[in-house]
Every structure is written in C-alpha cells, then in structure tokens.
Amino acid sequence: MYLLAIDGYFILEKFLLVGLIITLSMVVAMYATYAERKVAAFLQDRIGPNRAGPFGLLQPLADGGKLFFKEEIIPLASSKALFILGPLLAMITALMTSAVIPWSRPLYIFDREVSLQIADINIGILYIFGVVSLGVYGIMIGGWASNNKFSLLAAIRGASQMISYELAMGLSLIALLMLTGSLQMSVIVENQQGGRLGGLLSWHVFYQPLGFFIFFICALAECNRTPFDLPEAENELNFGYHQEYSSMKLGFYLFAEYINMFISGVVMSTLFFGGYDIPFVNEATWNIHPNWLAILGFMMLLTKAFFFVFVFMWIRWTIPRFRYDQLMILGWKKLIPLALINMVVTALVILIWKK
C-alpha cells in the first residue's frame, strides 16, 4: 500500500507538471503573436496593436476568438482524416519536445523532492531530435491531404528544408556531447555550473561558439522562420502548406510555429547558456529556501528563452528570405561541412588536452 501511495504521488506530480508546461507553452505562444506584431511595429516605426485592452494586451484573445468562431471548412476533395491529423500532429510534436527539459532545480513540497523535469532520460537529446523529426509529417500530411498543388509544393519544400537542416543541427551537437560525455539533459546543465563568474564561464557557448552558431541557424530553419520561411513564401506560392485550412486547424499550425520558437529558445538556453543557472552569482551561498532558488532558476531559463524568441522576431523583420536554391546550398554545402570541421577540431583539442 505504501508503494502504491508513493506511485500515486509521483503520477500526480508528473500530471501537474505536464499540465503546467502545456499551459505555459500555450500562453507564451498566444502572447508571442502579440510580441511579434509589437516588435515589427517598433522596427517599422509604427504603434502596433493598441485597441483591444490596455496597450493592446487583449489582442491575442481577440485573435483566438476570431479563429475559434470562424467557419471550419474541409475541402470535399481532401483526405478528411489526414486533413485533421496534420495540424494535430504539428501541435503535439511541438509540445512533446519539452518533456526532457530540466526547467529548474527540484522543489521540496511536504518533505518530498519534486523534480521540475518530466522525464530525465539518458538519451534526452536523441529524444528531442526524434520528436522534432516527426514535425515534418505534420507539414507534409497537411499539404498532401489538402489536395491542392500549391499546398503540396509548399509541404515538399518544408519537409526537404527541415530534413536538410536537421543533419547540420545533429552534427553541431556531436562536438558538445564530446565535452559533456552524456546525452542526458540534466547532466548537460550540471556540466555548465560551478565555474568563474557564477558559472558564466562554464557555459558551453564559450567552448562551442561555432556549434551554437550552426545550431541557431538550423533552429531558424526548423521553425520555418525568416530567412528560411520558404514553405510560406507568399510571393511564390498562394499561402503555403496550410492554404486550405481555416478556423482552429489553421490556428494549430500557427500556434505550433510559436511553440517551436519558444521550445527552441529553451533548448538553446539549456544546451549552451547554462539552462536555469543564474550568471555572475553563486546561488549555493544564498541562505534562502531551495524552493525560492528553484523559482528564480525557472524565471532565469524563461528570460533566456524569451531573449531568443525576440531575436527570432528581430531577424524576421530585418533580413529578406533566401531563394530556395540558396537555402539548400547553405544547408548542404556550408553548414554540414562546418559542423564536421567543428567536430574534428573539438575531438583533437580534447585528445591534446587529456595528454
């Protein structure tokens, strides 16, 4: 009975954590649409949304309500089951990536240590890549099931782009794994703590700047963000792979993009910028309750992730998109060789350093 009670508490903890992360991701995605329009307005010397609520803060609710009450249209010539499955798969894969991220230090509730990580598996990075690769199916299925040639063409572009840049992204992390010796996300975060300046100089970005640069570019391509938004190139296609979608099915595709941006920022912060580590200070010397440290660490991780979301938006409204041949040349002929060179150089440095 005691073991059953412990398992029940464990299941309840994980259930609540999953609900918290899903809610957080949805709220962030909702207000990322507002932030996108405000950032664009700032860069273009405009005001941006300012009508719905104070400073336009209720604009995401207005947009969501508009999508929710729009007429839902399923084309007669489409494959209806796959037409519905496409946006669902895109949304689910966007949310599943967060399962292996250590969001902060453990909380202590009623003398129980509650981990703020859904699953601390020893193949965390492989899990992330496995889930991210499933996102291709959401785009491809949606474009094909629409029975629209423009949607299919955009879906093929998106799938080939994502597959191409996943290779460079994976290779850029091999050098990082050589440094940490583990695929476990919690171990990677712990490896970045304890150095000078409150752990700042232990962050992997200082040891793998080229690896981070490649990973960041590939993250832009994976999220279909400018200058890699060829699947939605309105000047070449009608509207992209989700042209035939309306109502909340279209909303799922749009939300999935913003959730992917947020999770990409969290993953980059975890792998290269210390995760929940607070720079310039040594938290171990703070004489405060561990729960406050966990909350501060969680807020620090969100701050780093929001910074990357802002950079994604900044790039979108600053840099024009590539031609498709330029995009593929950059992925196959530039980033993959750079990632391989970075991997070999890192291996040589590690061998020489050990001697």
Residue-wise pLDDT tens for the chain (355 aa)? 444 445 677 788 888 899 999 999 999 999 999 999 999 999 888 988 888 888 888 988 898 888 888 888 888 888 888 998 989 998 899 889 888 999 998 888 887 888 888 988 888 899 998 898 888 888 899 889 988 888 888 888 888 888 889 889 999 999 999 888 888 998 999 888 877 766 678 899 999 999 999 999 999 988 888 888 877 766 666 678 888 888 888 888 888 889 999 999 999 999 999 888 888 887 777 888 888 989 999 999 999 999 999 999 999 889 888 888 888 999 899 999 999 999 999 999 988 887 6
pLDDT at 301: 93
Candidates 213, 325, 171, 316; CA nearest to 257 is 316
pLDDT at 77: 82
- Beta strands 112-114 and 107-109 are antiparallel
Distance CA 276, CA 102 (A): 8
- Tell whether 89 is covered by a domain: yes
- Tell whether 14 is covered by a domain: no
pLDDT at 236: 66
- Tell whether 61 is covered by a domain: no
Calculate the CA 257 to chain-centre distance: 9
Q: Tally the C-alpha atoms within 13 A of residue 213's C-alpha that lie toward its C-beta.
A: 11
- Tell whether 31 is covered by a domain: no
Q: pTM (2 decimals)?
A: 0.90
Distance CA 286, CA 183 (A): 30
Question: What are the DSSP E strand ranges found in 4-143?
Answer: 107-109, 112-114
In contact, 119 and 18? CB cutoff 8 Å: no
- Tell whether 170 is covered by a domain: yes
Candidates 331, 322, 343, 40; CA nearest to 210 is 343
pLDDT at 280: 83
pLDDT at 4: 44
In contact, 89 and 141? CB cutoff 8 Å: yes
DSSP state of 278: P
CB atoms within 10 A of CB 209: 12
Distance CA 122, CA 131 (A): 16
- Tell whether 5 is covered by a domain: no
Distance CA 50, CA 19 (A): 31
Candidates 131, 219, 141; CA nearest to 173 is 219
- Tell whether 168 is covered by a domain: yes
For 175, the domain range is: 76-354
Distance CA 89, CA 236 (A): 26
How many structural domains comprise the chain?
1
Distance CA 13, CA 18 (A): 9
**Amino acid making up residue 281:** V
In contact, 269 and 262? CB cutoff 8 Å: no
CB atoms within 10 A of CB 172: 27
In contact, 185 and 123? CB cutoff 8 Å: no
Question: What are the DSSP E strand ranges found in 102-258?
Answer: 107-109, 112-114
pLDDT at 150: 85
**Integer distance in angstroms from the first to the last C-alpha of the chain?**
55
In contact, 151 and 142? CB cutoff 8 Å: yes
- Tell whether 292 is covered by a domain: yes
